[in-house]
C-alpha cells in the first residue's frame, strides 16, 4: 500500500473517531479531528491545506476545549451546583459510557444528583427536588457543550474541505 494512502486512511479514521468523541466524553473529540486534518495536510505536502488554515483549525480546537469546560460549568453554576455535584456529573458521565446511549444521557444527571445529595447530607423531599434541579441543570450544560462542539467540528470540516478543494 502506498504510504501516502495509508496516511490519508489514518487521517480519516482520526477524524471519524474525533467526531464520535465530540459526543462521547472519554475521547478527545476535536483534538483528534484536528490531528487527522493535520496528518492529511502533511501527507499532501501542505499543498491543499496550508499553515494559515491549520492555525485557524488549531485555534478552533482550543476554543472547543474552553467551550467544553465553560458550558458544563455554566449549566452547573446557573442552578447553584456544589463542587461535589460537578464532580458527580463527571463521574456519572464516565460511568454512563458502560451503559450505551442511555447511560450517556442519564449518567451525568445521576452523578450530579448524587453529588449534590452528598453535599447536602440529607434526603428530605425539598433537598431531593433541589438536587434533581441541579442534576438537570448540569446535564443541560453538558448537552449544550456537546452541541457547541459538534458545531465547531462541522465548521472545521467545512473549512478544511474548502481549503482542500479551492
Q: Which of 43, 71, 38 is nearest to 149 (CA)?
A: 71
Do residues 71 and 148 make contact, with C-beta atoms less than 8 angstroms apart? yes
Q: For the chain, list residues with pLDDT below 50.
A: none
What is the structure's pLDDT at 8?
A: 97
What is the structure's pLDDT at 11?
A: 97
> Residue 65 corresponds to which cell in the numbers above?
476545549
Distances (CA, A) of 76 to 46, 80, 117, 139: 42, 6, 14, 8
Cα 76 from Cα 74, distance rounded (Å): 5
pLDDT tens-place string over residues 45-67: 999 999 999 999 999 999 988 88
What is the structure's pLDDT at 124?
A: 64
Predicted structure pTM score:
0.79
CA atoms lying within 13 Å on the CB side of residue 43 = 18
What is the structure's pLDDT at 24?
A: 77
What is the structure's pLDDT at 17?
A: 96
Do residues 46 and 28 make contact, with C-beta atoms less than 8 angstroms apart? no
Amino acid at each position: 500500500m502506498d504510504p501516502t494512502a495509508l496516511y490519508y486512511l489514518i487521517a480519516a479514521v482520526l477524524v471519524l473517531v474525533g467526531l464520535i468523541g465530540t459526543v462521547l466524553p472519554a475521547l478527545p473529540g476535536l483534538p483528534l479531528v484536528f490531528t487527522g486534518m493535520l496528518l492529511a495536510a502533511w501527507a499532501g505536502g501542505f499543498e491543499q491545506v496550508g499553515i494559515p488554515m491549520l492555525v485557524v483549525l488549531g485555534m478552533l480546537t482550543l476554543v472547543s476545549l474552553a467551550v467544553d469546560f465553560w458550558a458544563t460549568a455554566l449549566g452547573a453554576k446557573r442552578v447553584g451546583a456544589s463542587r461535589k455535584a460537578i464532580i458527580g456529573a463527571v463521574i456519572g458521565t464516565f460511568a454512563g459510557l458502560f451503559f450505551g446511549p442511555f447511560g450517556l444521557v442519564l449518567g451525568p444527571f445521576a452523578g450530579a444528583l448524587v453529588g449534590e445529595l452528598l453535599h447536602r447530607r440529607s434526603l428530605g423531599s425539598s433537598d431531593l427536588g433541589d438536587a434533581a434541579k441541579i442534576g438537570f441543570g448540569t446535564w443541560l450544560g453538558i448537552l449544550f457543550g456537546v452541541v457547541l462542539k459538534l458545531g465547531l467540528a462541522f465548521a472545521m470540516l467545512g473549512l478544511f474541505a474548502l481549503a482542500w478543494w479551492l
